[in-house]
Structure 1
Amino acid sequence: MDDERPLTILFAPESAYGPTNHCIGLGNILLKRGHRVVFASESSWKNRLEPLGFVEALIDLAEPPADPSGDLDAGKFWADFIAETAPEFRKPTLAQLESFIQPTYQALIDGAMYCEPHLREIIAEHKPDVIVQDNVVGFPALTTTDAPFVRIMSCNPLEVRGDKVPPTFSGYPVADQRGWEAYRAEFDRTLRPMWATFDGWVQEQGAEPLPDLEFIATSKVANIYLFPAEADYAGLRPLDWTWHRLDSSVRETDAAFELPDVVRDRPEGSGLVYLSLGSLGGADVDLMQRLVDVLATTRHRYIVSKGPQADRITLAGNMYGDAFLPQTSIIGHVDLVITHGGNNTTTEALHFGKPMIVLPLFWDQYDNAQRIDELGFGRRLSTYSCTDRELTGAVDALLADQDLRERLARIGEQIRSRDGLRKGAAILEHVAQRQRAVSP
């Protein structure tokens, strides 16, 4: 057998921008190494992955419309779902377990069940050397083939539970265990019946039983998670040899970005701030407009990623923005990042050594917000109830904290030197090559 033949790597990311962008970054490195990269992505990503050099093997997570009119917006499946449930984001994380976390898991499960037959067809057609899943629920089609399965965990590392770390999605502090037991009990009460039904279905498809109250299997050969060593919970929640940490994974496919005059030419003593609530958080027009209006009162300059409702958001004179921006080409230019706390943006800000203000909305964003706050890398604010003064005061304080900015700049240099992007690609390449070597 010729071991120099290109490998076929199949990525199956969640439809949201975060996991898909993470896989795009890794896939791009593998393409440059001469391999064939297939994306089994949700169908709204049609014609968005192929121009990057990937093979599109698209799936539907629900019955497609009878008469679709043109291409869907990428990630529309989840953008629509989040928009419908946005009022739940105003609730504390304990209450969100029943009103948001459970319905979200159910939607993910429904999608996994719906696409199972098609996924099996895709795998049979493309015969991957390794299958890479970046999701929060399992797809039996991906774990019951001859190809090795690698799990990528794009969320905050608390998705892997432990007695000495706060409960997943809680946003609770490491140093204060009050509330942990009650949250875990509510997590069990709310999610166990759904988990039991899903676990039964997973086993019916020929896959092994899921770990208790977990919705995705852990790989026996390699698992990858994304979080810098300087912010990790490693000493509190040991992981076995199959787990690999990527300190960052900043894709190299974003377009270059030149600062527009409106934000490049700014008054002495003012800072440059990047504001993004992600593709899903940006759909909350009222929230985005309120942030823009408050920040307009400061002397600073802002680059705003307006999101899918861009035409409904009016920027002020001290701002530049667009619906979607090349984030990884921007963060290095700014002095501060205001974010929803998605794991990609959080780790990218640390990669470039930037302080953060985190305004969490859902899922692991609360965990990231709390971690950044308790480590002193920035501030966690209440997304919907923080006052104007709290927001502008946090901006002024973080921009004026020269010691913090210098500390984070040093951390950023260390993170960049560890080159998580190429480390991740090498892990996938190694698993695939090892499988090929032992295959008949």
Structure 2
Amino acid sequence: MERRTHIAMVSIPAHGHVNPSLEVIRALVGRGHRVTYANAPSFGDVVRSTGAELKPYESTLPGPDETWTGDPIDALTIFLDDAIAMLPQLRAAYADDRPDLFLYDIAGAPARLLAEEWEVPAVQLSPTFVAWDGYEEEMAPAVDAMRSDPRGADYYRRFTEWLTANGSAVTDSIAFQGRPARCLALIPRVMQPHAERVDPAVYSFVGPILGNRSHQGTWTRPASAEKVLLVSLGSEFTDHPDFYRRCVTAFGGLADWHTVLQVGRHIDPAMLGQLPSNMEAHSWVPQLAILEQADAFLTHAGMGGSGEGLYCGTPMIAAPQAADQFDNADRLVALGVARRVDVATATAEELRKALLSLTTDPDVRHRAARIRQELHEHGGADRAADLIEAELSQPLRPSERVSSA
């Protein structure tokens, strides 16, 4: 019996890093490949739902009930510590089960190291924007500022020492993470900064890839709702009871609007008190099912939510809080499909004004519809699977080989 091609995916236990890849994994399994997926046991059910086999490892990342400081150096250090702890676990898990190709999330750096060591091809799956020509020069001031901090200097030193100790051909941490030999960007190309300066020989834009999410549940638009607004700050940055109360004041009782509030695991919906008849609040909702019926989306502008909003053609109010959300929010505004507000300072009046100005502007509606059409024609999971299968027959690139020095 002919052996099936073994494709190994490596990611971290975070929905923003796992969800964008799931339909790609499902498509590869559907084509008859054997796919293993290295992640924490807590994501076992999610992984197995695609038909892939879980390769469990113990992650050192903060758990769902722990908080991040918001400091970028702290975050980078946490990810590096996790990668260092992950590598020996991956080596043991795959030593007698070596894949024909590695797929890896941007936080799955150990997979690239093993790919180099075992001389198998590797493809990065990026859930966020990728490097462009001139990226390093433009990022130099921010990197220099971090290097001037003793904690940042220690981070870069440790990363280089780790890469060197493991025989990587690329020992600069920024190049190792940001300059893969091959990458599929699981985001809309319209969300990519300087897209015209991205190397198409390395990076292919295939996202967002959303798939069928009926297993998450459904949502029915109330018959009395002329328009629907979804308010969701994602899964991590949701501990904002005051902001949700301002949303209740801003949108409660607003003529012709029905508002759905997703408040996350940190907030009990009961904390918001008695809601107006045109509002509902939940800890979690089937976001995509609502967006497909919504007329507006107040989002934290994570890349996942931004992509879903664009895919559904839903105008957005962006309320960024951390990481890439600020750049994403600015990009949505530049695309002409969003307004930006500040979670900490936006008043109820400002929130209401942003919603009404956004949804009464015909240019916003037309631009959102045009982008939606482009994304639906983009290719999705099948195109991504085609590109991954093409890499199985390619010779290793120089950056994928272990240095002989």
With normalisation by structure 2, the TM-score equals 0.85
Say whether 1:77 aligns with 2:62. Answer: yes
Residues 277-332 of structure 1: per-residue CA shift (max 9 Å, x gap): 11101244454454445433533212333322353555633233433333333322
Which segments of 5 or more consecutive residues in structure 1 lack a partner in the other structure?
63-75, 89-99, 169-180
1:201, distance to aligned residue in structure 2 (A): 1.0
Map 1:226-305; keep pairs closer than 5 Å. Answer: 226-234=186-194, 237-239=197-199, 241-255=201-215, 258-260=218-220, 263-267=221-225, 270-299=226-255, 300-305=257-262
Change over 3 Å in CA distance of 1:370–1:118 after alignment to 2: same
2:264 maps to which of 291, 299, 307: 307
Is the Cα–Cα contact under 8 Å of residues 21 and 186 in structure 2 kept in the other structure?
A: no
Give the alignment partner of residue 148 of structure 1, picking from 121, 124, 138: 121
Corresponding residue to 2:4 among 3, 6, 9: 6
Distance in 1, Cα, partners of 2:136 & 2:169: 27
* CA separation of 1:125 and 1:279: change in aligned 2, threshold 3 A: farther
Show the counterpart of 2:169: 208
How many Å apart are 1:435 and its aligned residue? 6.8
| Residue number in structure 2 paired with 1:106 | 77
Does the 8 Å contact 1:275/1:305 carry over to 2?
yes
Structure-to-structure mapping, 1:39-188, within 5 angstroms: 39-62=37-60, 77=62, 79-81=64-66, 83-85=67-69, 88=70, 100-136=71-107, 138-139=109-110, 140-157=113-130, 160=131, 163=134, 183=142, 185-188=144-147
Q: 1:215 to 1:366 in 2, by over 3 A?
A: farther
Q: Structure 1 residue 416 and structure 2 residue 376: aligned?
A: yes
Cα RMSD of the aligned pairs, angstroms, is 2.9
Q: In the alignment, what sits opposite 2:330?
A: 370
Cα distance in 2 for residues equivalent to 1:396 and 1:144:
56
Q: Which sections of structure 2, spanning at least 5 residues, go unmatched? A: 397-405
Deviation at 1:142, TM superposition (A): 4.9
SS of the counterpart of 2:168?
coil
The percentage of counterpart residues that share the same residue type is 22
Of the structure 1 ranges 125-134 and 392-401, higher mean CA displacement relative to structure 2 is found in 125-134
- Tell me by how many angstroms 1:362 deviates: 0.8
Matches of 1:245 and 1:37, distance apart in 2 = 22
After superposition, what is the alpha-carbon deviation per residue over 1:336-364, rounded to whole angstroms, capped at 9, x for unaligned? 11111111111121122221111111111
Counterpart mapping for 1:324-403 below 5 A: 324-403=284-363
Structure 1's 235 and 107: CA in aligned 2 closer, same or farther, altered over 3 A?
closer
1:101 positional shift: 0.6
Q: Which amino acid aligns with 1:280?
A: E
1:360 is paired with a residue whose SS is coil
- Kept in 2, the 8 Å contact 1:302–1:319? The answer is yes
**Equivalents in 1 of 2:44, 2:195: separation in Å?**
42
Please report the TM-score for the alignment, with normalisation by the length of structure 1.
0.79
Taking the aligned partners of 1:124 and 1:331, their CA distance within structure 2 comes to 44
Query: Distance in 2 between the 1:24 and 1:9 partners?
Result: 14
Counterpart pick for 2:157 among 186, 196, 203 = 196
Aligned to 2:34: 36
Q: Is the 8 A contact 1:282 1:308 kept in 2?
A: yes
Q: Contact 1:248–1:416 at 8 Å: present in 2 too?
A: no
Distance 1:254 1:345, change over 3 A: farther
Shift of 1:334: 0.9
2:401 alignment counterpart: none
Q: Deviations over 1:71-102 (max 9, x none)?
A: xxxxx835444x252xx5xxxxxxxxxxx111
